């Protein structure tokens, strides 16, 4: 039961699959491999500025030296994506009272009332909002006709 609930969490959104394997879930090992071979996933129009601890910045610079085909921004973005998926996967499954299905042995599968469903729903809402903003930002501006 727990495995199937968490497997759904590990699925990447469309277009976010590992470039090297085409898999939906990406581990740090697969991420390193994709840096050797693949292209980056599409980006939002939003930017995020962060000040890194010195040790993290040094390690990031080392990765940039090791993978010169990747920008520092790409490295940060891809590391963050893997970390977020792993965080979602480690959120505890908390069985609720409502049975939502049965497993292969016929045992009941209870809804997850832990933090995972809320996290996933909020992430979906934010994704839709970010995609809408991206579409508006990339939409060509129509020229207005002047009235005589």
Contact 29, 80 (CB under 8 A): no
With 70 as the cut, is the pLDDT of residue 71 above it? yes
3-state SS, residue 60? helix
Q: How confident is the model at residue 8 (pLDDT cuts 50, 70, 90)?
A: very low
3-state SS, residue 102? strand
Bridge-partner residues for 99, per DSSP? 110
CA 78 – CA 71 distance, rounded (Å): 11
Please tell me whether the overall predicted TM-score, pTM, comes out greater than 0.75 for this model. no
**Mean pLDDT to the nearest integer, 52-59:** 96
With 90 as the cut, is the pLDDT of residue 40 above it? no
pLDDT of residue 14: 42
Q: Which residue has the higher pLDDT, 44 or 51?
A: 51
């Amino acid at each position: 039961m727990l495995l199937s609930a968490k497997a759904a969490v590990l699925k990447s959104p469309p277009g976010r699959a590992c470039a090297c394997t085409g898999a939906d879930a990406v581990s740090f090992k697969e991420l390193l491999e994709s840096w050797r071979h693949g292209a980056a996933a599409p980006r939002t129009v939003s930017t995020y500025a962060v000040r890194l601890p010195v040790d993290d910045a040094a390690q990031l610079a080392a990765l940039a030296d090791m993978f010169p085909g990747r920008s520092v921004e790409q490295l940060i973005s891809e590391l963050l994506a893997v970390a977020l998926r792993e965080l979602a996967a480690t959120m505890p499954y908390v069985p609720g009272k409502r049975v939502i299905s049965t497993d292969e042995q016929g045992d009941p599968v209870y809804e997850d009332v832990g933090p995972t469903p809320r996290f996933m729903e909020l992430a979906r809402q934010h994704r839709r909002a970010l995609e809408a903003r991206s579409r508006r930002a990339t939409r060509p501006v129509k020229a207005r006709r002047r009235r005589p």
